[in-house]
Structure 1
Amino acid sequence: MAKVTDFETWLTATGIQSEEDAYDLYSSIGNFEGSGRFYTNKEVTNDGYQYTVRAEGNEDTLFLESDEAKFAFFDHLANNYTESEEGDVDRWYKLRTKLGRID
């Protein structure tokens, strides 16, 4: 089990297969809890916060070393795994749910 900092490597190994997966991952990191098949732990450091993210089916852990890394990950997730405008994954997911277009 390794700590991975490369977003795409970890996401590829995790296998984001649906919009629901993308939102669950976003929600888990944003709320520091379990959501779907993802679980995030937030740790306080001298410089701020660090986040470790686990996914069912992936032995490696995503390591986000700061809030800057967390927000960079959110941008990557929004741009590559959702159709959200301006990186607003919450708004995108709520709209998709209202329209009944969640896979």
Structure 2
Amino acid sequence: MSEDRTTKAEVIARSLEKVSDSKGLEAIGHGLGWGIAAMAIAAVFLALALSPAALKWDGHLHPQTKCYEVKEIAGELVKFNTCTGEAEKISIKAEASAK
């Protein structure tokens, strides 16, 4: 049984030796190298093409609407944030100093 294992190991070693000596691995390596280089060049061109759009982008995917509304409820001014749903009372003195 040990002879069978040795012969199988030798057969595997010989086949690996043939593969490692073949030109196929070299061609695969060259192909991968050229592919990675082409992807790097494409990434540079893509970055250059998208840079004007990136400079104008304000960070929002959708246009932002006016989120604040001021309403008078029971004689008091209340500032509502319609985007988040928060409400805050406003005193008239704070409003006058803001102007």
Which structure has more strand as a fraction of its residues?
1
With normalisation by structure 1, the TM-score equals: 0.19
More RCO (CA 8 Å, sep 6+): 1
Which structure has more helix as a fraction of its residues?
2
